[in-house]
Amino acid sequence: MTLAKLVKNSVGGGAILISLAVTGNAQAAILSYGGAGATQGFNPGTLNIGRQFTVTGSGITVIDLGVFDLGGNGLVDSHDVTLFKINSGAGAANANVSAINGGSVNIASGTGASLESSFRFKSLTNAIYLAPGDYSVIAYGLNKSRDAYGEGGQLPAGGNVSNIGFTPFEFVTASSPAYPSAGDTNTALSSASFRYNLGNTTSTSVPEPSSILSLLTLGTLGAASTLKRKLKPSKPTEKETTKVG
């Protein structure tokens, strides 16, 4: 996709037209974890639960986060969903993690948030690029009697993301960014998800500063030339006079 920005300056009837091309890659968002066909979780009580995953290849750009909505009929409560970088201990309880700056959303109750594969999604304020490494996404405050986690679901299959065979969870009412200290190897549980693009799509390509400076310099010279021609005085016409008499 190319966006042309036209800047027009008029000086003394002259005009300068500068075109700055801005390019970016538009691609359909890829669903990481799906919840189609998942049924209500068995365990009662309030818990924080999510996924651990590995990013590979050129990395990914996360654009929104999601929480499981059983049956897709709307959330009873609002829920935080938060991204974490796993520093060490992936695939086991008590992993050492760091919450990712800007990587959290609060998904409102009801049916207002977008729905895909039994997950309600909300966009991040700014998309976040995740370089290759281990990460986790956690949904907060799920509860069997209100907004349950799901038994079943689908693992990532869209590229550059693979599931780690461990599900972090903890029956606790702690809010984000508290990270679950327990979990097990049952990965067939739907709770948190995200959608993403392949590679780093957070940056927009613009002309090099030197190119922009050259354009502006040429435009300025053109304007000065136009103004100079406009203001240049006309040479008076000399007329011969004839003496009579």
pLDDT digits (tens, 9 = 90+) for 15-31: 443 333 334 456 799 99
Q: How is domain 30-198 classified at the CATH fold level?
A: Jelly Rolls (2.60.120)
pLDDT digits (tens, 9 = 90+) for 98-130: 999 999 999 999 999 999 999 999 999 999 999
76 with 115: CB under 8 angstroms? Answer: no
| Upstream peptide bond of 177 is cis (omega within 30 degrees of 0) | yes
84 with 137: CB under 8 angstroms? Answer: yes
pLDDT of 169 above 50: yes
Residue 216 phi, psi dihedral angles, 5° rounding? -65, -35
pLDDT of 203 above 60: yes
* CB atoms near residue 140 (< 10 Å): 28
The domain locations on the chain are 2-24+210-227, 30-198
Range list of β-strands (E), the chain: 2-11, 14-23, 30-31, 39-40, 46-55, 60-68, 79-88, 96-107, 114-116, 119-130, 133-143, 150-151, 161-163, 167-170, 182-184, 189-190, 192-198
